[in-house]
C-alpha cells in the first residue's frame, strides 16, 4: 500500500479535546471503533493521520500499529490527510454501464485533479469506491455523506462547481 506521510496534521488543543471526547466512547462501546473513527474523521482532515492515531491510541489503549492496520484496511477511512470534501465515484459495473466514465472525466476536468489526489487548496479529494447501493439511479457519486444520483457529465460539472463556489455545504 502506497501512502505518502509528508503532510503533518497539527493537533491544536481544541482539536485534541474533540478527538478525545469522541474516542472516549470506545470505553463504553468497544465494538464501535469503526463509527468512532468515522466520527473523528469529521473533525480532522477527513482522515486518521498519525498525529490523530496517537491521541486515539492514548485514549483507547489500542496500539498505534493496530489502528493503522484498521485505518489502512477500510476505504472510508484514510491514513493520509484528505480534502474537506471527499468525492467518491462508484466504479462498479452498473454505474460503469450507465456512463460513469464520462461523468468521472467531467469531474476530473472540473477539479483539475486525478483520482487519488487532493486539490491544491486542500478542499477536494477524488477517489473511486465500490457500489453505493443505488444502482437503479446510476451513475452515482458520494460527496462526504451526500449521495448524488442520475448524473450526466454536465450535471456532475455543475454540482462540483457549486461545491467549489461554496454554494453547498
Partner 1 sequence: MSKVKLTIDGLPVEIEEGATILRAADELDIYIPTLCYHPDQNVKANCRICVVEVVGMKLLVPACSYPATEGMAVLTHSQRVRTARRNILELILARHAQDCLHCDRSGFCELQKVSEEMHFLRTPRYPYVARSDYWDDSSPSIVRNSQKCVACGRCEYVCSNIQTVHALSKVGRGFEVNFEPAYGKKLGDSVCINCGQCIQACPTAALTIYDYTLRVWRAFADPQKTVVAQVAPAVRITLAEALGEAPGTISTGRLVTALKRVGFDVVFDTDFTADLTIMEEGTELLGRINNGGVLPMITSCSPGWIKFCETYYPDLIPNLSTCKSPQAMFGALIKTFYAKQIRKVPSDIFSVSIMPCTAKKFEAQRPEMGRNGYRDVDVVISVQEIARMIRSAGINFSNLPETPFDSPFGLGSGAGEIFGATGGVMEAALRTVYEIVTGKELDSLDFESVRGFEGIKEASVMVGDIKVKVAVAHGLGNARKLMDAIRAKEADYHFIEIMACPGGCIGGGGNPIKNWRKMGPRLEAVYREDKNMPLRKSHENPYVKKLYEDFLGEPNSHKCHELLHTRYVDRSYLLR
Asked if residue 79 binds partner 1 (CB under 8 A), the reply is: yes
> Which residues are CB-neighbours of 68 under 8 A, at least 6 positions away?
50, 53, 79
Nearer to partner 1, 130 or 150 (CB): 130
- Listed residue (137, 127, 22) closest to 77, CA to CA: 127
Asked if residue 73 binds partner 1 (CB under 8 A), the reply is: yes
Asked if residue 168 binds partner 1 (CB under 8 A), the reply is: no
- Report residue 31 as a C-alpha cell: 465494538
Nearer to partner 1, 7 or 146 (CB): 7
Q: How far apart are CA 132 and CA 7, in angstroms?
A: 30
Asked if residue 63 binds partner 1 (CB under 8 A), the reply is: yes
CA neighbours closer than 13 Å in the CB half-sphere of residue 55: 25
Residue of 3, 8, 130, 150 that binds partner 1 (CB under 8 A): 3
Asked if residue 69 binds partner 1 (CB under 8 A), the reply is: yes
Q: How far apart are CA 30 and CA 34, in angstroms?
A: 10
Asked if residue 72 binds partner 1 (CB under 8 A), the reply is: yes
Binding string, residues 101-140; x marks residues near partner 1 by CB under 8 A: ----------------------------------------
Considering only CA atoms, give the Rg of the chain.
Answer: 17
Does residue 41 contact residue 47 with C-beta atoms inside 8 Å? yes
Return residues touching partner 1 (CB under 8 A). Answer: 1, 3, 5, 49-50, 53-54, 57, 63-69, 72-73, 79
Amino acid at each position: 500500500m502506497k501512502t505518502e506521510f509528508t503532510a503533518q496534521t497539527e493537533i491544536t488543543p481544541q482539536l485534541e479535546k474533540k478527538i478525545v471526547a469522541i474516542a472516549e466512547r470506545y470505553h463504553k462501546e468497544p465494538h464501535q471503533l469503526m463509527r468512532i473513527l468515522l466520527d473523528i474523521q469529521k473533525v480532522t482532515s477527513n482522515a486518521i493521520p498519525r498525529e490523530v492515531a496517537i491521541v486515539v491510541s492514548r485514549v483507547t489503549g489500542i496500539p498505534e500499529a493496530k489502528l493503522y492496520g484498521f485505518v489502512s484496511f477500510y476505504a472510508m477511512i484514510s491514513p493520509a490527510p484528505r480534502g474537506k470534501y471527499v468525492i467518491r465515484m462508484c466504479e462498479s459495473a452498473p454505474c460503469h454501464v450507465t456512463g460513469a466514465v464520462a461523468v468521472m472525466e467531467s469531474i476530473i476536468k472540473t477539479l483539475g485533479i486525478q483520482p487519488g489526489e487532493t486539490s491544491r487548496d486542500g478542499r477536494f479529494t477524488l477517489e473511486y469506491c465500490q457500489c453505493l447501493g443505488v444502482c437503479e439511479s446510476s451513475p452515482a457519486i458520494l460527496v462526504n455523506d451526500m449521495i448524488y444520483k442520475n448524473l450526466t457529465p454536465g450535471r456532475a460539472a455543475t454540482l462540483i462547481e457549486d461545491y467549489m463556489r461554496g454554494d453547498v455545504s
